[in-house]
């Protein structure tokens, strides 16, 4: 969440961020509400100060004056209660809008509306060419008895699957291989919970904007779609000493996603499923642009090295 002071000082920057991200957000509405909230807060503080002054006068007052002061205190109390309720309501509305403020994209990020507008940084390796029509991964997995999608759907529902035999063993081998590579680089291995409270999801920006993508268990319990949420929230409500940064984690967790926005896309196979396991690199670092960019490059390099070790061709793409 951006600081309200930053938003007050840079309204045009926020407006431009919303335009670039195709987010329907009215920064003027937020700032108007911010002004109203501060006006009510200022009034409440003045009323409380006045109430304290009247309270201090009561013991030294005459019986007649004391009666008037008590009546005045009662009226002030009712006025304060009324304004505090108004303040609470405005605070809730302000917090709701603050959660919807789009973050400011880096200057290097291209503008666009779809994957077609992404910027390719580089291609590494050559895509194999065959003198026959290659089978898709779904057919190969089923023919070699490495996966069962029919029974997976029967048991788990749409996009359900079983991995079995060498298919299951290959998953464990890949996870272990990637885990060892990152541990060698100083990352702390951690197995993260997938069940998280609402506050971590809010803090990571997944709700309220993407609440339709998240499985909800109870009023305050959800299934996370990535280990990023629990691990980023590991030190929630704590203050870290700058000298102890960065904190590097390689996190493993089950992930759950509704894929509500992907209807009709990648409906077969393992490309877009509702449940999977994932290793996630998470780095908690100093909140400086150059520092975060450097660590982002480090994370990208780590991922590239793993794919290179597997001798797989790949692309590095800057998403719009």
Distance, CA of 209 to CA of 222 (rounded, Å):
15
Q: 222-243 in b/e burial notation, b at 16+ Cβ within 10 A?
A: bbbbbbbbbbbbeeeeeeeeee
At 269, list the tokens: 């196979």
What mean pLDDT is predicted for residues 231-243? 96
At residue 32 the predicted structure's pLDDT band, cuts being 50, 70 and 90, is: very high
Q: Which pLDDT value is given to residue 29?
A: 96
What mean pLDDT is predicted for residues 289-313? 96
Has residue 266 got a pLDDT over 90? no
Q: With CA atoms as reference, report the closest residue to 25 among 91, 108, 109, 96.
A: 96
Tens-digit pLDDT profile for residues 98-153: 999 999 999 899 999 898 999 999 999 999 999 999 999 999 999 999 999 999 99
Q: Which pLDDT value is given to residue 68?
A: 86
What mean pLDDT is predicted for residues 154-158? 91
Report the 3 state secondary structure along 245-314: CCEEEEEEEEEECCCHHHCCCCCCCCCCCCEEEEEEEEEECCCCHHHHHHHHHHHHHHHHHHHHHCCCCE
Has residue 313 got a pLDDT over 90? yes
What mean pLDDT is predicted for residues 253-268? 74
C-alpha pair distances (Å), 146 with each of 51, 161, 171, 232? 75, 11, 11, 34
- Mean of pLDDT over the chain: 92
Q: Which pLDDT value is given to residue 109?
A: 92
Q: Where are the domains of the chain?
A: 4-98, 136-284
Q: Which pLDDT value is given to residue 60?
A: 82
Has residue 262 got a pLDDT over 70? no
At 248, list the tokens: 């590097």
Which of 123-127, 205-209, 289-293 has the least mean pLDDT? 205-209
| Fold (CATH) for 4-98 | Helix Hairpins (1.10.287)
Distance, CA of 198 to CA of 196 (rounded, Å):
7
Q: At what angle do helices 63-98 and 27-57 cross, to 10 degrees?
A: 160
Q: Please name every residue paired with 280 in a beta bridge, in sequence order, or none if there are none.
A: 251
At residue 261 the predicted structure's pLDDT band, cuts being 50, 70 and 90, is: low
Tens-digit pLDDT profile for residues 53-72: 888 888 888 888 888 888 88
Q: Looking at domain 136-284, does it have CATH number 3.30.930.10?
A: yes
Q: Please name every residue paired with 211 in a beta bridge, in sequence order, or none if there are none.
A: none
Has residue 164 got a pLDDT over 60? yes
Has residue 189 got a pLDDT over 90? yes
At residue 265 the predicted structure's pLDDT band, cuts being 50, 70 and 90, is: low
Q: Which pLDDT value is given to residue 133?
A: 94
At residue 158 the predicted structure's pLDDT band, cuts being 50, 70 and 90, is: confident
Tens-digit pLDDT profile for residues 62-110: 888 888 888 888 899 999 999 999 999 999 999 999 999 999 999 899 9
Alpha helices in the chain (DSSP H): 4-9, 11-20, 27-57, 63-98, 137-143, 149-156, 166-184, 198-203, 228-232, 289-309
At residue 49 the predicted structure's pLDDT band, cuts being 50, 70 and 90, is: very high
Has residue 264 got a pLDDT over 70? no
Q: Which pLDDT value is given to residue 64?
A: 80
The tally of CA atoms less than 13 A away on the side-chain side of residue 101 is 27
What mean pLDDT is predicted for residues 249-276? 82
Distance, CA of 167 to CA of 176 (rounded, Å):
15
Distance, CA of 153 to CA of 156 (rounded, Å):
5
Q: Judge whether 142 and 151 are in contact, CB under 8 Å.
A: no
């Amino acid at each position: 969440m951006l600081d309200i002071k930053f938003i007050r000082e840079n309204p045009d920057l926020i407006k431009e961020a919303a335009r670039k991200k195709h987010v329907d957000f009215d920064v003027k509405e937020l700032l108007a509400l911010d002004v109203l909230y501060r006006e009510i807060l200022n009034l409440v503080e003045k009323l409380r100060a006045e109430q304290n002054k009247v309270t201090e006068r009561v013991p030294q007052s005459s019986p007649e004056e004391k009666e008037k002061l008590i009546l005045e205190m009662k009226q002030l109390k009712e006025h304060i209660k009324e304004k505090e309720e108004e303040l609470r309501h405005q605070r809730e509305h302000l917090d709701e809008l603050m959660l919807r403020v789009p973050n400011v994209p880096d200057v290097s990020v291209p503008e666009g509306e779809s994957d077609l507008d992404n910027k390719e940084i580089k291609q590494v390796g050559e895509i194999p060419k065959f003198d026959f029509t290659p089978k898709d991964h779904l057919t190969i997995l089923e023919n070699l008895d490495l996966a069962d999608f029919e029974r997976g759907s029967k048991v788990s529902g749409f996009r359900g699957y079983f991995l079995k035999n060498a298919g299951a063993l290959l998953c464990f081998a890949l996870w272990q291989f990637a885990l060892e590579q990152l541990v060698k680089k100083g990352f702390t291995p951690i197995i993260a919970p997938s069940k998280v409270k609402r506050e971590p999801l809010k803090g990571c920006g997944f709700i309220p904007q993407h609440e339709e993508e998240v499985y909800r268990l109870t009023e305050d319990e959800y299934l996370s779609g990535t280990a990023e949420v629990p691990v980023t929230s590991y030190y929630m409500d704590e203050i870290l000493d700058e000298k102890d940064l960065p904190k590097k984690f390689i996190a493993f967790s089950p992930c759950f996603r509704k894929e509500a926005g992907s209807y009709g896309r990648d409906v077969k196979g393992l490309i877009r499923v509702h449940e999977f396991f994932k290793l996630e690199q998470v780095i908690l670092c100093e909140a400086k642009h150059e520092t975060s960019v450097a660590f982002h490059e480090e994370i990208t390099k780590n991922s590239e090295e793993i794919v290179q070790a597997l001798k797989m061709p790949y692309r590095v793409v800057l998403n719009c």
